[in-house]
């Protein structure tokens, strides 16, 4: 009963940059992101054989409540019009891709003013395992739970060389307890999201802190109490970062208690009118990418 959660935007960005821009529809519309997304989805379904599947999307890529707390949140990605900066030839593909996903009957969930990460985290907590979260981002490492069989299918190296992230993988990679990735990320920061972390503390210092403490509060208290694991210089940086540490948990931790819609998460069955899919295939020149997903779904 494996539930697969697709970080849709992460997948279509990777598809866009991984597939040639020469892939176009008969009318010239670019379709490289669409075809790549369908190909990746087919391979993932074929490899992991989920019985439940959700394409998770952004209700808001930059939620107002996170920006109110920290105005610089993802400000590095804002374009001149206030939207998310993205390649000109990617934007027109997304509505088409969502139409294709809908035609296949794959459940799509996005919640207003929340990110896809929050949706995936809430599903990962509220649904029974096994759960596989498919993403190219590290943020979801915080959701890994060996006891409930929640793992991250991490695509940073590409689909063919992806990692299946569990607590041991996190511990080996970052030299921290496998269940403290969020704490580690609070101190280290994440430049891609515009999060600075605690000034002057990089990956090595963040790992040392996560090894010895289990929360920002306990780390701050350890710095005040001159805990022996912390050098005077590191203690000073932690104390100076107290204001940021007060908001970091809300910024870094995914929301896990979103009220989710009551929809079927089951892998879609062959629709009565499959011609809709074949019409999209012909209209946009999606060729074998459509056929591969149909085969993976065992229609």
The whole-number pLDDT of residue 148 equals: 97
% the chain with pLDDT above 70: 100
pLDDT, mean of residues 67-75: 95
The whole-number pLDDT of residue 60 equals: 95
Domains and CATH numbers, the chain: 3-170+255-296 (3.40.50.1010), 181-252 (1.10.150)
- Classify each residue of 199-227 as buried b or exposed e, where b means 16 or more C-beta atoms within 10 Å of its C-beta: eebeeebbbbbbebbeebeebbebbeeeb
Query: Residue 78 in 3-state DSSP?
Result: strand
Is the predicted pLDDT of residue 54 greater than 90, yes or no? Answer: yes
Return d(Cα 15, Cα 39) in angstroms, integer: 9
The whole-number pLDDT of residue 238 equals: 98
pLDDT, mean of residues 68-87: 90
The whole-number pLDDT of residue 85 equals: 87
pLDDT, mean of residues 55-77: 95
């Amino acid at each position: 009963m494996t539930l697969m959660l697709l970080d849709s935007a992460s997948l279509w960005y990777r598809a866009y940059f991984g597939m040639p821009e020469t892939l176009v529809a008969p009318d010239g519309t670019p379709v490289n992101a669409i075809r790549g997304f369908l190909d990746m989805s087919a391979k993932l379904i074929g490899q992991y054989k989920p019985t439940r599947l959700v394409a998770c999307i952004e209700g808001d890529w930059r939620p107002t409540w996170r920006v109110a707390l920290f105005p610089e949140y993802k400000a590095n990605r804002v374009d001149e019009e206030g939207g998310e900066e993205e390649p000109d030839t990617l934007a027109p593909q997304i509505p088409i891709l969502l139409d294709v996903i809908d035609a296949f009957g794959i459940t799509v969930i996005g919640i207003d003013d929340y990110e896809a990460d929050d949706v995936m985290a809430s599903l990962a907590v509220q649904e029974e395992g096994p759960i596989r979260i498919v993403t190219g981002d590290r943020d979801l490492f915080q959701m890994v739970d060996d006891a409930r069989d929640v793992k991250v299918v991490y695509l940073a190296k590409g689909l063919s060389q992806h990692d299946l992230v569990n607590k041991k993988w996190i511990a080996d990679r970052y030299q921290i307890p496998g269940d403290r990735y969020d704490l580690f990320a609070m101190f280290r920061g994440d430049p891609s999201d515009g999060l600075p972390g605690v000034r002057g503390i990089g990956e090595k210092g963040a790992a040392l802190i996560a090894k010895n403490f289990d929360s920002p509060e306990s780390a701050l208290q350890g710095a005040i109490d001159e805990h022996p694991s912390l050098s005077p210089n590191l203690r000073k940086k932690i104390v100076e970062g107290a204001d940021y540490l007060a908001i970091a948990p809300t910024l870094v931790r995914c929301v896990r208690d979103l009220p989710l819609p009551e929809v079927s998460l089951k892998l879609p069955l062959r629709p009565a009118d499959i011609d809709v899919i074949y019409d999209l295939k012909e209209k946009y020149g999606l060729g074998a990418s459509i056929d591969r997903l149909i085969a993976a779904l065992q229609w």
